[in-house]
Amino acid sequence: MPAAAFSHVRYWVFDLDNTLYPPKARLFDQIEARMTAWVMQALGLGRAEADRLRRHYWQKYGTTLAGLMREHGVEPGPYLSHVHEIDLSDLEPAPDLAARIRALPGRRIVHTNGSAPYAQRVLEARGLGGVFDAVYGIEHADFHPKPERAAFEVVFGRERLEPAYGAMFEDDARNLKVPHALGMRTVHVAPAPERAGHVQHHARDLGGFLSLLSGDCL
């Protein structure tokens, strides 16, 4: 049982997309389509090349935006507004998850590579509005994306978070490397586990995993 491994945790940091809602909602399908359309228009590319570039920048830099900023001098504000104008009607409220997160002792934080306004919309649609003590978008990380160390350092510095007393929940396992190196407990939230030294726990279902902590945390 993982409860004992989390008994010291006082900072609970959650990614947003495909972590605080299930992948079956397929919100990122919409976001990726809007990213590709934005790249097509901004850089004058055809759809196939724009889609290839979007994927390449995500793999190389952590986000498509990071690549666009570094290699093309793109201003982040208009891009973030455009790609996050998506339909959230497939999101369902999750009262049990809300209760589990509310019961965690200490600070409850969202740290996303998306924008904070988008994160707030998603949280409201999931019935998680008001559950978290702080919501940090990529703008709060000075536009450094996870998995860059600077992204965590900026956000954790703002939060005055002590990594030795923290836990990170992420659907993208590469984003757990820095938290693990800093001394946090790491949880990969995904349908299938990924075996890596920086992944300490796997959660197929976030609410179900948090319920296993009830012995120490609820």
Question: Residue 43 maps to which CATH number?
Answer: 1.10.150.450
Of 44, 64, 83, at which residue does a domain stop? 83
The answer to whether residues 62 and 111 belong to one domain is no
- How many angstroms separate the CA atoms of 216 and 218, rounded? 6
Residue 52 has pLDDT above 90, yes or no: yes
Q: What is the pLDDT of residues 86-95, one digit of tens each?
A: 999 999 999 9
Q: Which domain holds residue 32?
A: 27-83
Question: Residue 188 maps to which CATH number?
Answer: 3.40.50.1000
The answer to whether residues 101 and 206 belong to one domain is yes
Of 57, 83, 109, at which residue does a domain stop? 83
The answer to whether residues 128 and 46 belong to one domain is no
pLDDT at 215: 52
The answer to whether residues 72 and 167 belong to one domain is no
- How many angstroms separate the CA atoms of 200 and 90, rounded? 31
pLDDT at 216: 42
The answer to whether residues 39 and 57 belong to one domain is yes
| CB burial string 182-196: b at 16+ within 10 A, e below | bebbbbbbbeeeeee
The answer to whether residues 200 and 140 belong to one domain is yes
CA-based torsion, 159, 161, 167, 171: positive or negative: positive
The answer to whether residues 201 and 131 belong to one domain is yes
Sheet of 166-170: strands edge to edge?
A: 134-136, 107-111, 11-14, 166-170, 185-189, 201-203
Helix (H, G, I), strand (E, B) or coil at 7: coil
pTM to 2 decimals? 0.93
Residue 27 has pLDDT above 50, yes or no: yes
User: What does the mean pLDDT of the chain come to?
Assistant: 94
For residue 134, the one-letter residue type is A
Alpha-carbon distance values, 51 to 55, 76, 132, 144 (Å): 6, 18, 34, 22
Of the chain, the percentage scoring pLDDT greater than 70 comes to 97
The answer to whether residues 18 and 33 belong to one domain is no
Helix (H, G, I), strand (E, B) or coil at 168: strand
The answer to whether residues 127 and 201 belong to one domain is yes
pLDDT at 2: 75
What's the total number of domains in the chain? 2
Q: What is the pLDDT of residues 113-161, one digit of tens each?
A: 999 999 999 999 999 999 999 999 999 999 999 999 999 999 999 999 9
Overall average pLDDT of the 162-174 stretch: 97
Helix (H, G, I), strand (E, B) or coil at 44: coil
Q: Give kind and range of the element (H or E) at residue 66.
A: helix 64-72
pLDDT at 218: 41
DSSP state of 145: P
Of 38, 58, 83, at which residue does a domain stop? 83
The answer to whether residues 102 and 205 belong to one domain is yes
